[in-house]
Structure 1
Amino acid sequence: MSVSPSDINEPVPQQMDEKPRWIKELLEWAKTITISFLIVMVLHLFVFNLSTVEGHSMEPTLRDREWLFVNKAAYLIGSPKVGDIVILEDPSAYGGQNDYLVKRVVGVAGDRIEIYNKELYRNGVKMAENYTDIEIEDLDFMPVIVQKGQYFVMGDNRHARASKDSRNFGTVPRSMIHGRADFILWPFKQVKAL
């Protein structure tokens, strides 16, 4: 009796370059995790960031230890506007420290900013500051003309010496502003758009 090769049901041996199924799955998982990590890193570097409020300089708008959603893409095309709450490098930080502040923009290029009689004036007009609940307790501040590419920032807390801001370190260059705070994310009972 003769038998042809097609009649034999012998298992086909695995080829040398074929990997077991569990290794293929492991490699797929590793690839998925790596791609996900890279996407999150790109988003973190260029699109958004989370920041924690430290201190009381932005009260009553922001409270100590609240988490903010920071929109880094907001200023890729546009520029900070009066009223925006921004995250910026602390211009007064020493020794290359990366300290950050959260402040409100109150003056942009060409604006004349001054404080007298406990009120903030922009271009000679008293600013309506519905975001703060107290008049400015610090001394009057002589007029400053905000130069091109610069911003005048202040904390919302107007108690005496409650905020380190442009009254202390001067105007801030655009390059030191890292993004706009758009939302309070934590605690959940305080979640709101800014």
Structure 2
Amino acid sequence: MEPVIPDEKAIKPPHKIWILELWDMCKMAVIAIAIMLLLNIFVFNLSLVKGQSMEPTLENSERLFVDKLVYHFASPKSGDVVVLKDPSTGPDRKTFLVKRVIAKPGDTVEVREHELFVNGQPKSEPYTDVIIEDSDFKPLTLGKDEYFVMGDNRHAGRSKDSRYFGSVKKSQIVGRAEFVFWPISKIRSL
């Protein structure tokens, strides 16, 4: 006959069992929160669209899934929708913008007669149907790790972008917006 080994929980008073289970749940919650925070810092971010600067592509109050790893392995491409640190605010402020990459390092950008040109050629922009209402600007050639970003809404004064603060460094780009996940009725990839 084998000896009977009593269950640990059976020999502990009921109030201690409850405390042990609560302690286990608290440890699991702390671990889950720590993992989510690490993923949010290094892998992805969930961002809220504020304002009208990316209309018609993105609307106010839509929520985005942002891939923060992609640009550690590749460079932003023309047409990518990116989240970047607002260069017009001080380094202490954590303000972010959602913009589209229009030109990459080595490209020359200009606006002539309300039309966008990249490397001397009119830029095909199927994501917007609005002409650039702001005044023209002379050709600007981007340096190493510099990107020219614009909002899709080209109405005068609607988008704080590279026309306002100049080119942005790759280090200022937080990640690429991959898809809209909220509201559910508007889920779509970008």
Instruction: Report the TM-score, using the length of structure 2 for normalisation.
Output: 0.88
1:50 aligns with 2:46: yes
**C-alpha separation between the residues in 2 aligned to 1:113 and 1:132?**
18
Structure 2 counterpart of 1:163, from 159, 171, 178: 159
Instruction: Report runs of 4+ in structure 1 exceeding 3 Å deviation.
Output: none
Secondary structure of the 2:54 match is coil
Q: Take 1:54 and 1:179, find their aligned partners in 2: how far apart are those partners?
A: 17
Find out whether 1:70 has 2:66 as its counterpart.
yes
**How many pairs does the alignment contain?**
179
Equivalent positions of 1:80-91 (< 5 A) are 80-91=76-87
Q: In structure 2, give the amino acid aligned to 1:128.
A: S
How far 1:41 moved relative to its partner?
A: 0.7
Return the index of the structure with the highest Cα Rg.
1
Structure 2: gaps (5+ residues): 1-10
SS in structure 1 opposite 2:34?
helix
User: 1:186 & 1:67 partners in 2: Cα distance?
Assistant: 5
Identity of aligned residues (%): 49
Unaligned runs of 5+ in 1: 1-13
Query: Quick one: which amino acid aligns to residue 104 of structure 1?
Result: R
> Is the partner of 1:148 in helix, strand or coil?
coil
| Secondary structure of 1:139's aligned partner | coil
> What is the match of residue 23 of structure 1?
19
Alpha-carbon offset, residue 22 of structure 1 = 2.8
1:178 to 174, 178, 186: 174
2:43 matches 1:33: no
Cα deviation for residue 95 of structure 1 reads 7.1
Following superposition, the deviation at residue 143 of structure 1 comes to 0.5
Counterpart pick for 2:146 among 150, 153, 159: 150
Report how far residue 135 of structure 1 moved. Answer: 1.2
Q: Which residue is equivalent to 1:121?
A: 117
